[in-house]
Amino acid sequence: MADLLISTLIQGLIYALISFGVYITYSILDFPDLGVDGTFPLGAAITAILLTRGVNAWLTLPISLAAGALAGLFTGFIHVRLKIRNLLAGIITMTALFSINLYIANGSNLTVDRGTDTIFTAPSTMSLLGGLTLMERKLVVSLVLILTVKLVLDLYFNTRSGLLLRAVGDNADLVTTLAKDRGSVKMLGLVISNALVALAGCVVCHEQRSFSATMGTGQLVFGLAAVIIGISLMSFYTASPAARGLRQVRGLRFLGSPRGTTAVILGSVLYKLCIQLALSMGLPPNMMKLITAMLFLLVLVVSGRKGEEIIHA
């Protein structure tokens, strides 16, 4: 039982990187980026092929980040500069990345040999955490990685660039009055978002030692559900007793704040826990996507208008 809980926590922490990306696009930018379902396997495909060719395990992380950033830049370019609607821009990116991922991995599936070092078994990791079991190392490395990303995001959101990013989805006219190009700010947000999603695919590849062309299917749903769960819970916790509801914490006071990123991590872990509980109750693994969809529907129904207020789309 303890191993199952630790495994679920590891998955929740790793997949929180996807939730961070969705949090930026949906909650902050008000941008329905369907390209997430293509960017996630992009990071995994690049990682798998690099590991099989002997590239240092830790080097795959920045490479995947860069690849995801390019995918986000492409989505932003065709939306902002070519004037393609945001929904269609994401679909175009997702469709293009499916073929690109197949080309990178030279097939629809790629398995990393057990003898190949990952970030959880690399010499540098073993020198620090060699006394721990593999599962314990995965937990520590995942926790350090997600907390590092959270800290960097929290610091960035309080810079001038971060404040502009937080403003563009809520009040784009304000960005224009500050003599800033709202399109460029939106493109930057997509770059950061997709870089984080690709990083998630990279870490998942390290954890599972495999790549699949279809592993990105449903990741947008997961990220969105995790964001809604986390922000809903955090909003009720921080709202005043006299006026409970998301209006108390909505807007720039919450979105892009440390509470917001904390909520995303919390939502990701809880969502993975719900899925694991469903599987533990006897539901077959091949029903995973159906479970994910039904759980997301349940989240939206239970939250009522809260989903509409968190996700401004």
CATH code of the domain in which 232 resides = 1.10.3470
Dist. CA 187–CA 192, nearest whole Å: 9
**Containing structural domain, residue 282:** 2-310
Alpha-helical (H) ranges within the chain are 2-22, 36-52, 60-80, 86-105, 123-129, 134-157, 160-170, 172-177, 182-208, 219-238, 258-280, 288-303, 306-310
What would the mean pLDDT of 5-29 be, rounded to a whole number?
92
Helical (H) or strand (E) element with 106: none
* Tally of domains within the chain: 1
Q: Which residue from 150, 158, 146 is spatially nearest to 252, judged by alpha carbons?
A: 158
> What digits encode the pLDDT tens for the residues 122-169?
999 999 998 899 999 999 999 999 999 999 999 999 888 888 888 776
pLDDT per residue as tens digits for the range 70-129: 999 999 999 999 999 999 999 999 999 999 999 999 999 999 998 899 999 999 999 999
The per-residue pLDDT for 176 is 57
